[in-house]
Chain A
């Protein structure tokens, strides 16, 4: 590998862990003072001074990043409006039911939502003053936080003529089409063994750690244990823990009630349990994570039966 300046580093194995870059708004005014991305500690430090009680914050994007930002801002007393182009929050990452719960929670906490809203311009002289929508509405803003997704950082891979398709394309062992080069984390696109080798570019802590473990094992000539993906998101006093990939589900069953702010949504594809969203329900999260990891299944009527503790359900499934 040749570095800028010409120095060359020989390698037996090369790992690309280049991550992703947050997408920037491609709007007039997006470079104004007070418009922030959220990726690094430096990003947080940059917005800290203006992030104070009473300040008007507009969050663009109602994914996890946007909603976590909105939650922190409300807890610190900022006035918060979330603009989302889709008709519901978390559209990419969860079901309408669970998204509806989070929408209600944030609304109850005082967050205003503009769903189906199309940001058109960021207004202001030197500093942001408002966000203008395509329909002409103007939302006053002292501060804008954008959480509109990331693009995988694949420049080096492309210069090296590696296959790139929504991330650096790898096999299940994180190997690119050059057998000595691996790619892991947000920049990589690999088949997920627990999901029929569906190709995914996962953006999560667990995916980064698992990729590192797989590559370390592969380089050492050992076999890595492949795991099922999992995620979490903390908003207010709600801990959302997710095991598995819900995409492709055809029905959902619940344990617990949303009114209690502690429930789990279990996603099924046909008879097969494929994922869980657990809100303040760690047992349901860890139980399903264990089931999925061992490729075990539990019928919907069994899992929805609250009279049976989750641990017992998992133990029974493990014996069959």
Chain B
């Protein structure tokens, strides 16, 4: 099963087994990784599952769609590698993915 590493703003790491087909947000929430609120549960409606994709992985996660990009515009501390983790589906290709979490989702 693909492994995903979530790194909190404090530097604390969480390595999670993420089943293919789940989203990067769902895998975090199911393992109680702090710092991903995901208030809307994955409907791309709230922008509270913001993560920074490790630059090495950007090619594999793909880019934000237009709806997601508009939502990200209003998130805090957005960078070029910002994504909403509910919009990244876990695939075998993402085994080893590293994402960093922002200081706050609100």
The 3 closest A-B pairs by CB, nearest first: A286-B74, A232-B45, A282-B70
List the B side residues contacting A241 at CB < 8 Å.
Answer: 45
Complex CA–CA separation, A241 to B74 (angstroms)? 14
Number of B interface residues, CB 8 Å?
13
Q: Is the CB of A209 within 8 A of B39?
A: yes
In the complex, whether B41 has a CB less than 8 A from a CB of chain A is: yes
User: B73 near A: Cβ within 8 Å?
Assistant: yes
**A234 lies within 8 A of B70 (CB):** no
Indicate whether A283 sits within 8 Å of B40 (C-beta atoms), given known contacts A239-B67, A241-B45. no
Q: Which of B45, B46, B70 contacts A283 (CB 8 A)?
A: B70
Contact check, A283 vs B73: say whether CB atoms are below 8 A apart. yes
Residues of chain B at the chain A interface (Cβ within 8 Å): 39-41, 43-47, 67, 70-71, 73-74
Cβ contacts under 8 Å, A218 to chain B: none
Question: A residues within 8 A CB of B41?
Answer: 205
Residues in B whose Cβ lies below 8 Å from that of A280? 67
B71:A286 contact, CB within 8 angstroms: yes
* Residues of A contacting B74 in the complex (Cβ-Cβ under 8 angstroms): 282-283, 286-287, 290, 311, 314
- The digit string for A277-289, where 1 denotes a CB below 8 A from any CB of B, is 0001111001100
Q: How large is the interface on A (under 10, 10 to 19, 20 to 34, 35 or more residues)?
A: 10 to 19
Closest CB-CB distance, A259 to chain B, in whole Å?
19
- Could you tell me which residues of chain A, from 185 to 210, have a CB within 8 Å of some CB in chain B? 205-206, 209
CB distance from B102 to the nearest CB of A (A): 15
Question: What's the nearest-Cβ distance from chain A to residue B46, in Å?
Answer: 8
Smallest Cβ-Cβ distance to A280: which chain B residue: B67
B4 to chain A, nearest CB (A): 24
A165 CB, nearest partner CB in chain B, Å: 28
Contact with B along A241-284 (1 / 0, CB 8 A): 10000000000000000000000000000000000000011110
Alpha-carbon distance A283/B39, docked complex (angstroms): 17
Residue of A206, A230, A280, A286 with most chain B CB atoms under a 10 A cut-off: A286
Q: Which residues of B contact A206 (CB under 8 A)?
A: 39, 46
Q: How far is the CA of A91 from the CA of B45 in the complex (A)?
A: 23
Q: How far is the CA of A234 from the CA of B41 in the complex (A)?
A: 13
Report B-chain residues with C-beta under 8 Å of the C-beta of A209.
Answer: 39
Given contacts A282-B71, A286-B71, A314-B74, 11 further A-B contacts (CB under 8 A): A205-B41, A230-B46, A232-B43, A232-B46, A281-B70, A282-B47, A282-B67, A282-B74, A283-B73, A290-B74, A311-B74
